């Protein structure tokens, strides 16, 4: 579907040739905008690369020398998280004080749930990303039972656990969280990637208390002006256009950012029913029908309502000035964006760690009850 303004329409429909010329120019502009989007991402990544410490370079070189089986060089310290896919283990290099998070994904589960494409997509996307607001992927491995992702260990804990323990965050803390997520989205969108799975569970704190996005299983690369129709995401954070199968783009991330602001300030998302269908019905009724609690003051309420507009084209972040409209919102006035980008801004969430294997800010999990079966179909041959 092609939509243009009334004035532009009058200028183009005089003849078929004029309309065709206009459309060709429109498509060319989209392609040019897409190239600029990718070029900015490459430039930003290049700037980060120049700032990488010698220690990090040596670390990557060390990992590259590991044999195909990761556990010849690594030993498990503890379990950081569990899920249907498998487990995330804190591992360290044997005889060295260097730690990583190892995502251990059950191959049989991936095949049974037909998630092979999502796993490869996550791998491919993480391999091309270099942002201080997104967890780093160092290497992947495979085994008869699992595929593995060797990731940056962020031991400050999960934002979900911290929010659970505190009940809610004050405005200053919420602004810091929103700043980190906004910078992550700015980077991702400029290289054509929509995240599609924002929630406190997917935000993790590094040793300095800075927030990083994790879990890119639902992330997808799209071009300017394109949409996708996959139904995915966490029910409380799903945008209305996803529920209605209207097609969605980068604007779903702005919707979820509004939901996150609400949850951080109150401890609960704005739309939550007894089951998924009730939650979806509440979302479709819209944020306009919602009475905000007094704990959310006028300015953050305005930001949330503008991020959660029912029409994606009306959402803050998706307007003419893009994500800069979010950064310049009145509630974020005076926020030190430059300091955040270069990690000079002190995090209100920083907690003390005794060393690179201190897992005290994570919940405890029992050992895996049963070893998964082998999966030898070969879908992971390029992993």
- Digit-coded pLDDT (tens) for 5-58: 444 434 434 444 544 554 455 445 444 544 544 454 445 454 544 554 455 667
* Whether residue 176 is found in the same domain as residue 266: yes
Write 324-329 long-range contacts (CB < 8 A, 24+): 326/182, 326/254, 326/257, 327/182, 329/299, 329/302, 329/303
In a domain, 40, yes or no: no
Tell the residue number behind the tokens 């503008």, with chain if given: 306
Residue 329: inside a domain: yes
- 328 lies in some domain: yes
Task: Tell me if 4 is assigned to some domain.
Answer: no
| Shared domain check, 267 and 171 | yes
Q: Which residues are known catalytic residues?
A: 197
Q: Which two tokens stand for residue 333?
A: 């006035």
Domain edge (last residue) among 132, 152, 172:
152
- pLDDT value at residue 206: 98
Same domain, 318 and 235: yes
For 19-27, the CB contacts below 8 A with 24+ separation are: 26/2
Say what the pLDDT of residue 65 is.
76
- Co-location of 266 and 316 in the same domain: yes
> Is 82 part of a structural domain of the chain?
yes
pTM of the model: 0.84
Looking at residue 72, its pLDDT comes to: 85
Domain boundary among 121, 152, 183: 152
Question: So what's the pLDDT on residue 234?
Answer: 95
What gap in Å lies between CA 188 and CA 194, rounded to an integer? Answer: 7
The verdict on 96 and 169 lying in the same domain is no
Kindly provide the b/e burial profile for residues 95-122, where b requires at least 16 CB atoms within 10 angstroms of the residue's own CB: eeebbbbbbbbbbebbeeeebbebbbbb
At 138-171, the pLDDT tens digits run: 999 999 999 999 999 999 999 999 999 999 999 9
SS (H, E, C) 120-145: HHHHHHHHHCCCCCECCEEEEEECCC
With respect to residue 229, please indicate whether it lies within any of the assigned structural domains. yes
Q: What is the pLDDT of residue 11?
A: 45
The DSSP code for 193 is E
Q: Tell me: the pLDDT tens digits for 189-205?
A: 999 999 999 999 999 99
Helix (H) or strand (E) holding 183: helix 171-190
**Is 107 annotated as a binding-site member?**
yes
- Contacts of residue 207, defined as CB under 8 A and 6 or more positions apart, other chains included, come to 154, 155, 156, 353
Q: Examine the domain organization and report whether 54 and 195 are in the same domain.
A: no
Domain residue limits at 138: 50-152
Chain Cα centroid distance, residue 104? 19
Please write the tens of the pLDDT for every residue from 235-267: 999 999 999 999 999 999 999 999 999 999 999
User: Is residue 30 domain-resident?
Assistant: no
> Are 278 and 329 in the same domain?
yes
Last residue of a domain, one of 152, 185, 213: 152
C-alpha distance from residue 310 to each of 86, 97, 268, 284, 327 (Å):
36, 50, 20, 8, 21
Is residue 50 within 8 Å of residue 329, measured between CB atoms? no
- Is residue 307 predicted with pLDDT exceeding 90? yes
Same domain, 201 and 293: yes
How many distinct structural domains can be found in the chain? 2
CATH code for the domain in which residue 183 is found:
1.10.510.10
For the stretch 65-105, pLDDT in tens is 777 777 788 999 999 999 888 999 999 999 999 999 999 99
Residue recorded with tokens 């799209």: 222
Q: Is residue 367 part of a domain?
A: no
CATH number for the domain harbouring residue 62: 3.30.200.20
Residue 30, number of CB atoms within 10 A of its CB: 14
Residues 177 and 320 in one domain: yes
Are 114 and 250 contained in the same domain?
no
Assess whether 120 and 236 both reside in one domain.
Answer: no
Whether pLDDT at 347 is above 90: yes
Kindly write down the DSSP assignment for every residue of 14-40, as one continuous string. TSHHHHHHHHHHHHHHHHHHHHHHHHH
Q: 285 and 208 in one domain?
A: yes
Q: How confident is the model at residue 337 (pLDDT cuts 50, 70, 90)?
A: very high
């Amino acid at each position: 579907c092609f939509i243009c303004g009334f004035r532009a329409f009058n200028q183009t429909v005089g003849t078929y040739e004029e309309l065709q010329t206009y459309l060709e120019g429109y498509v060319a502009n989209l392609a040019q905008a897409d190239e600029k989007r990718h070029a900015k991402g490459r430039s930003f990544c290049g700037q980060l690369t120049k700032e990488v410490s010698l220690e990090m370079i040596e670390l990557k070189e060390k990992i590259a020398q590991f044999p195909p089986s990761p556990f010849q060089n690594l030993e498990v310290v503890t379990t950081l998280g569990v899920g249907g896919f498998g487990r995330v283990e804190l591992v360290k290099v044997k005889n060295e004080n260097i730690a990583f998070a190892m995502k251990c994904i059950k191959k049989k589960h991936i095949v049974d749930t037909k998630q092979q494409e999502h796993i490869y997509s996550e791998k491919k996307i993480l391999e091309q990303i270099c942002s201080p607001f997104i967890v780093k992927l160092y290497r992947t491995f495979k085994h008869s039972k699992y595929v593995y992702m060797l990731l940056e260990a962020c031991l400050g804990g999960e934002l979900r656990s911290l929010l659970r323990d505190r009940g809610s965050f004050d405005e200053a803390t919420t602004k810091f969280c929103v700043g980190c997520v906004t910078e992550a989205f700015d980077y991702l969108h400029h290289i054509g990637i929509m995240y599609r799975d924002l929630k406190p569970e997917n935000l993790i704190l590094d040793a300095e208390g800075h927030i990083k996005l994790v879990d890119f299983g639902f992330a997808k690369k799209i071009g300017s002006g394109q949409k996708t129709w996959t139904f995915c995401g966490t029910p409380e954070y799903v945008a209305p256009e996803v529920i209605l199968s209207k097609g969605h783009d980068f604007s779903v991330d702005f919707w979820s950012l509004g939901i996150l602001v609400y949850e951080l300030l109150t401890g609960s998302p704005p739309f939550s029913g007894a089951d998924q269908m009730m939650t979806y019905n509440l979302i479709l009724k819209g944020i306009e029908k919602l009475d905000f609690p007094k704990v959310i003051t006028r300015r953050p309420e305005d930001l949330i309502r503008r991020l959660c507009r029912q029409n994606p084209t009306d959402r803050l972040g998706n307007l003419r000035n893009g994500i800069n409209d979010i950064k310049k919102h009145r509630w974020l006035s005076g926020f030190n964006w430059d300091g955040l980008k270069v990690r000079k801004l002190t995090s209100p969430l920083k907690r003390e760690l005794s060393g690179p294997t201190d897992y005290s800010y994570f919940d405890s999990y029992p050992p895996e009850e049963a070893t998964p079966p082998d999966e030898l179909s070969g879908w992971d041959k390029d992993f």
